[in-house]
Amino acid sequence: MRKPFPYRVTCPLWTPSGKSVVENSSLRIRPAVDSDSWICAELTNTAADGMFADLFGNRWQSIVSQLSKQPGHSMSLEHVRVLDQDGEVVGMAAAMTGLDAKKGFDSQLWNVAGWRTIRALVMSLALRPMFRFLDFHEPDEFYLQALATRASRRGQGLGTRLLNDVNERGMAAGSHRLALHVDKSNVNAQRLYDRYGFSYESISTPALFAGGERIERWVKSLPDGRETTDG
């Protein structure tokens, strides 16, 4: 199974002025570890607008948590960095190269979800146009798969801080641009990405059996890449 849904960013993550208000020196960004898997599963489901709960039922958090602890696929914690304040995870960003984004997790999902995998696959048929769209990745891009913060910490510039880290990770990986998917109706997220320098690239065909839902692909050039941006 590929990425089973279009991720949404949980906004507002940007202040009205477009400037970060994060000044607390106790905040740090670090790689996720296995003990973060439970909260990262919660934040991932939030970023997905509750889609994991819909796909897997009442065991969704356990399934996503266990799945993330297995390496070698696009949902693995190896691609996640968390925003930590005094030992508490207050935000996370999952991002990876375009090649890593194409790594499915069929066998791992069967191991942790069992028959619920069939349930998820059946439900996902309604979103098939979007899933095909989500599968497209350029090998040299750096893909932002999910970005979320705790509800109590939104509007404090944490999303900007996480985006800055993703930007640095993309450059360190030698990628030419960042890419992400965002729900067409998620105006708050689109505003955040627009302010950060992303621009609209393309849109999926409507998922007719899911209310005509569509997702957009946005991109942002990185320094020294093959594309350039103004300013």
Q: pLDDT of 152-177, one tens digit each?
A: 888 788 989 999 999 999 999 999 99
Q: pLDDT of 179-219, one tens digit each?
A: 999 989 888 889 989 999 999 999 998 877 667 788 999 99
Q: pLDDT of 70-93, one tens digit each?
A: 999 999 999 999 999 999 999 999
| pLDDT at residue 228 greater than cutoff 80 | no
Q: How many angstroms separate the Cα of 159 from the Cα of each of 14, 32, 124, 125?
A: 7, 17, 29, 32
| pLDDT at residue 21 greater than cutoff 70 | no
Domain presence at residue 1: no
Domain presence at residue 126: yes
Domain presence at residue 183: yes
Tokens 């069992």 — which residue?
A: 114
Domain presence at residue 169: yes
Whole-number average pLDDT of the chain: 85
Number of domains in the chain: 1
Domain presence at residue 122: yes
Provide the residue range defining the domain that includes 167. Answer: 27-221
> Nearest to residue 198, comparing CAs of 137, 155, 144?
144
pTM summary value: 0.84
Domain presence at residue 57: yes
